């Protein structure tokens, strides 16, 4: 359909310099959001902000998407990989220079307040106004300047970054300095999760459509529609522009899966026994596939250009030049496609899969094809787009057929995931054993036909079950938790952290709920490494969105850590605890789920904090322990 209103392009907007959205609108909304932990209130504050930005900018999609990115502290979609990566010392230097304060003084105040944002605000308040009223900061200016910082590289870049920050700080008024500095640090700390932003956006789209008299069907689920398109095309600029141009009710029709734009991958639920699989699928046909133990690789071919994306939708094409080299051989030229694959380390001499630990020794940056020692084998397990058509809603049997008929397997480089269709317990058990002896983690069990077998982007679905041999006797799976606090070590380890407080992510309250303390099994080298990684994110202030019982002093960590790093841990079993908080709202007697004897396995670099095991999953796993 023809767009009802003409949404402005970025070029038109920059010509209309009178359309300004002040950054102070964001700072005010952030202050209000930070002051509450109530989800509905936060969603409303967020939607009010977006409505206000739309009104002020006269419905400019670019300014709204810039606002959204500033709210979630990002500079664009994950696959563009634009990151600030600023060290604290550089921000302190810029702050000192712009406010005429010594860095040592700033450091001292920072130690006391535990928040560089507050230090910045205090520094500005105490500064005498020398040049009259500064020009107001606007959202597009802040956003563009942050992008300039992220893009500047090379010899002179440090000073250039300091100058940009100084330029922005000079213009800051009231609480603007606080949030600007927190954005620069990469920790906004207002407890605003992307899920809330999406809900708020859907409300804004509805309000906007109503305001211009565009009709929306009575039973239309705006929230579901926005979440659905965003999981297929996780790019705010595209989603916002399309929603404003065509109306929320047309969003699904007008946004299509696009090669070159990574989608959020489908995920699986854990299962503990072959019996559970049979009762889950009943009469329905399912397939068992090897669960390869490597790194998820979403492979896109778009007009001859190849890309590999991670589980987190980061562009890994530079990291895997060897995968990019394989791709032209696997499909007919001129056909666009999206494949879901696992990349594993491969022993070329023995022609066999190597463990994940070998894969993790590969360089992560500046990988040159000629220097690669650990070789890769790609195993494709799904086809999501082929030759101009989205395959997401086609049954798995059909996706697999097209995959096997049109892609060429190359021994030692590219193949299809090994699979078997059977409903015989004995055969599944044998296939599981075989997968383990072939260096896999276990099996993935998937619905084959009917609507259950469609590909569900971003969902952890019961239509995909994972069966991991190693964990059959425990809780069925490893658990991925977020580091939210740390305890200083004792004896010769006093200069590093000796223990860590871990949390799960509560999907409905969007808070991090503590689960356990972990402190054994680390080598000195591990502890030094973790200290280097975590100390830049540590301070004395507990975040409002971290839930922990501090009533006994021994439980409170020495430092709180901004939720960012995800660790995979193994546990003997799950228990209930009066101290820990995971899933407390869903468990009678006011106790939370905790891990007994947690053991550190590995850092999950491919997961963000919101991708960690949820409190809801932990509660489910706790109760599942009692089922035979």
SS3 for 466? strand
d(CA 29, CA 47): 10
Least separation, in Å, of the C-beta of 468 and ligand ATP? 7
261 CB-side CA count, 13 A = 18
Nearest Cα residue to 375 out of 411, 347, 417: 347
d(CA 82, CA 619): 36
Q: Write the CA distances from 563 to 279, 433, 555, 611, integer angstroms.
A: 38, 38, 18, 12
If the CB atoms of residues 28 and 296 are measured against ligand ATP, the closer one turns out to be 296
> Which residue of 47, 70, 188, 444 would you call a contact of ligand ATP, by CB under 6 A?
444
d(CA 233, CA 255): 8
Q: How would you write 18-41 as a 3-class SS string? A: CCCCEHHHHHHHHHHHHCCCCHHH
Q: Work out whether 311 is an interface residue with ligand ATP (CB under 6 A).
A: yes
> Which residue of 78, 289, 456, 513 would you call a contact of ligand ATP, by CB under 6 A?
289
Nearest Cα residue to 547 out of 577, 504, 607, 507: 504
If the CB atoms of residues 456 and 480 are measured against ligand ATP, the closer one turns out to be 480
Least separation, in Å, of the C-beta of 607 and ligand ATP? 7
If the CB atoms of residues 93 and 468 are measured against ligand ATP, the closer one turns out to be 468
Name the catalytic one among 124, 227, 272, 291: 291
Q: Which of 195-203, 206-214, 283-291, 491-499 is the region at the interface with ligand ATP (rule: CB under 6 A)?
A: 283-291
If the CB atoms of residues 461 and 528 are measured against ligand ATP, the closer one turns out to be 461
Q: Work out whether 292 is an interface residue with ligand ATP (CB under 6 A).
A: yes
Least separation, in Å, of the C-beta of 611 and ligand ATP? 7
Q: Work out whether 291 is an interface residue with ligand ATP (CB under 6 A).
A: yes
291 tagged catalytic: yes
CB-based contact 589:575 (threshold 8 Å) = no
H helices of 186-232, where? 194-211, 222-232
- Which residue bears the tokens 């998820």? 296
H helices of 509-577, where? 524-534
Residue 612: DSSP 8-state: S
Query: Restricting to residues 404-433, which ones interact with ligand ATP according to CB under 6 A?
Result: 417
> Which residue of 268, 465, 503, 538 would you call a contact of ligand ATP, by CB under 6 A?
268
Q: Work out whether 346 is an interface residue with ligand ATP (CB under 6 A).
A: no
If the CB atoms of residues 195 and 460 are measured against ligand ATP, the closer one turns out to be 460
As a whole number of Å, the end-to-end CA separation of the chain is 55
If the CB atoms of residues 161 and 466 are measured against ligand ATP, the closer one turns out to be 466
CB-based contact 123:101 (threshold 8 Å) = yes
- Ramachandran region of residue 80, left (φ > 0), alpha (ψ -120 to 50) or beta? alpha
Task: Render 319-382 in DSSP notation, one character per residue.
Answer: T-HHHHHHGGGTS-TT--EEEEEEEEEEETTTTEE--HHHHTTS-SSS--GGG--SEEEEEEEE
d(CA 270, CA 470): 12
Task: Render 250-300 in DSSP notation, one character per residue.
Answer: GHHHH----TTSPPPPPEEEE---HHHHHHHHTTS-EEEEEE--SEEEEEE
CB-based contact 306:341 (threshold 8 Å) = no
- Work out the number of other CB atoms within 10 angstroms of the CB of residue 251: 21
Q: Which of 83-91, 278-286, 287-295, 491-499 is the region at the interface with ligand ATP (rule: CB under 6 A)?
A: 287-295
Q: Work out whether 483 is an interface residue with ligand ATP (CB under 6 A).
A: no
Least separation, in Å, of the C-beta of 466 and ligand ATP? 5
Q: Work out whether 381 is an interface residue with ligand ATP (CB under 6 A).
A: yes
Q: Which of 178-186, 187-195, 291-299, 364-372 is the region at the interface with ligand ATP (rule: CB under 6 A)?
A: 291-299
Q: Work out whether 175 is an interface residue with ligand ATP (CB under 6 A).
A: no
CB-based contact 625:594 (threshold 8 Å) = no
Which residues pair with residue 376 across a beta bridge? Answer: 345
> Which residue of 466, 543, 548, 584 would you call a contact of ligand ATP, by CB under 6 A?
466
> Which residue of 90, 103, 267, 423 would you call a contact of ligand ATP, by CB under 6 A?
267
Q: Which of 87-95, 161-169, 289-297, 389-397 is the region at the interface with ligand ATP (rule: CB under 6 A)?
A: 289-297
CB-based contact 548:514 (threshold 8 Å) = yes
SS3 for 462? strand
Q: Which of 285-293, 321-329, 353-361, 492-500 is the region at the interface with ligand ATP (rule: CB under 6 A)?
A: 285-293
If the CB atoms of residues 164 and 593 are measured against ligand ATP, the closer one turns out to be 593
Q: Work out whether 456 is an interface residue with ligand ATP (CB under 6 A).
A: no
If the CB atoms of residues 178 and 607 are measured against ligand ATP, the closer one turns out to be 607
Least separation, in Å, of the C-beta of 456 and ligand ATP? 11
Q: Which of 38-46, 125-133, 288-296, 592-600 is the region at the interface with ligand ATP (rule: CB under 6 A)?
A: 288-296
Least separation, in Å, of the C-beta of 442 and ligand ATP? 9
Least separation, in Å, of the C-beta of 584 and ligand ATP? 23
Q: Work out whether 272 is an interface residue with ligand ATP (CB under 6 A).
A: no
Least separation, in Å, of the C-beta of 241 and ligand ATP? 30
Nearest Cα residue to 529 out of 580, 567, 480: 567
Q: Which of 230-238, 284-292, 319-327, 387-395 is the region at the interface with ligand ATP (rule: CB under 6 A)?
A: 284-292
Least separation, in Å, of the C-beta of 478 and ligand ATP? 6
> Which residue of 60, 115, 342, 511 would you call a contact of ligand ATP, by CB under 6 A?
342
Residues in binding contact with ligand ATP, number by CB under 6 A: 14
Question: Can you give the binding site for ligand ATP, defined by CB under 6 A?
Answer: 267-268, 289-292, 296, 311, 342, 381, 417, 444, 466, 480
Q: Hey, which residues are catalytic here?
A: 291
């Amino acid at each position: 359909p023809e767009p009802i209103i003409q949404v402005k392009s970025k070029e038109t907007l920059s010509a209309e310099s009178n359309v300004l959205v002040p950054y102070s609108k964001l700072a005010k909304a952030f202050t209000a959001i930070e002051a509450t932990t109530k989800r509905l209130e936060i969603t409303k504050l967020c939607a009010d902000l977006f409505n206000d930005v739309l009104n002020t900018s006269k419905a400019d999609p670019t300014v709204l998407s810039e606002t959204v990115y500033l709210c979630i502290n990002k500079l664009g979609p994950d696959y563009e990989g634009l990151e600030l990566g600023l060290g604290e010392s550089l921000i302190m230097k810029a702050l000192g220079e712009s406010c005429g304060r010594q860095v040592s003084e700033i450091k001292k105040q920072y130690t006391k307040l535990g928040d560089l944002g507050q230090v910045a605000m205090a520094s500005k308040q105490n500064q005498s106004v020398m040049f009259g009223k500064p020009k107001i900061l606007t959202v597009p200016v802040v956003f563009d300047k942050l992008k300039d910082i992220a893009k500047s590289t090379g010899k002179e870049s440090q000073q250039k970054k300091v100058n940009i920050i100084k330029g922005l700080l000079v213009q800051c008024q009231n609480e603007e300095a606080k949030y600007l500095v927190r954005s620069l640090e990469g920790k906004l700390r207002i407890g605003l999760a992307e899920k809330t932003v999406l809900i708020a956006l859907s409300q804004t789209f509805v309000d906007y459509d109503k305001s211009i008299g565009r009709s929306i069907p009575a039973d239309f689920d705006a929230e579901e529609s926005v979440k659905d398109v965003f999981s297929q095309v996780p790019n705010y600029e595209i989603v916002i522009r399309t929603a404003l141009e065509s109306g929320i009710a047309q969003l699904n029709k007008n946004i299509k899966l696009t090669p070159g734009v990574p989608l959020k991958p489908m995920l699986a639920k854990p299962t503990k026994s072959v019996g559970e699989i049979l009762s889950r699928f009943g009469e329905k046909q399912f397939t068992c596939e090897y669960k390869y133990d490597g790194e998820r690789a979403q492979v896109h071919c778009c007009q001859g250009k190849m890309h590999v994306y991670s589980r987190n939708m980061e562009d890994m094409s530079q990291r895997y030049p060897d995968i990019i080299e394989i791709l032209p051989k696997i499909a007919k030229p001129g056909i666009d496609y999206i494949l879901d694959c696992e990349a594993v380390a491969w022993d070329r001499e023995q022609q066999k899969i190597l463990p994940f630990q070998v894969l993790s020794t590969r360089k992560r940056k500046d990988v040159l094809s000629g220097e690669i020692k650990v070789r890769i084998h790609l195993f494709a397990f799904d086809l999501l787009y082929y030759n101009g058509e989205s395959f997401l809603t086609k049954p798995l049997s059909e996706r697999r057929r097209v995959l096997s008929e049109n892609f060429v397997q190359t021994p030692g480089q590219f193949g299809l995931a090994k699979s078997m269709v059977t409903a015989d317990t004995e055969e599944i058990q044998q296939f599981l054993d075989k997968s383990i002896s072939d260096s896999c983690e276990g099996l993935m069990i998937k619905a084959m036909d009917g609507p259950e077998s469609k590909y569900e982007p971003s969902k952890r679905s019961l239509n995909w079950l994972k069966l991991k041999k190693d964990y059959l006797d425990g809780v069925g799976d490893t658990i991925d938790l977020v580091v939210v606090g740390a305890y200083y070590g004792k004896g010769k380890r006093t200069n590093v952290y000796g223990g860590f407080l871990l949390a799960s992510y509560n999907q409905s309250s969007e808070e991090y709920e503590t689960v356990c303390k972990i402190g054994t099994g680390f080598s000195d080298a591990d502890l030094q490494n973790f200290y280097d990684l975590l100390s830049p994110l540590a301070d004395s202030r507990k975040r409002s969105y971290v839930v922990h019982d501090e009533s006994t002093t021994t439980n409170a960590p020495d430092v709180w850590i901004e939720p960012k790093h995800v660790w995979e841990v193994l546990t003997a079993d799950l228990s209930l605890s009066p101290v820990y908080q995971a899933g407390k709202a869903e468990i009678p007697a006011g106790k939370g789920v905790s891990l007994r004897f947690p053991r550190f396995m590995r850092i999950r670099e491919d997961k963000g904090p919101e991708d960690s095991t949820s409190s809801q999953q932990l509660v489910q796993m706790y109760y599942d322990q009692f089922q035979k």
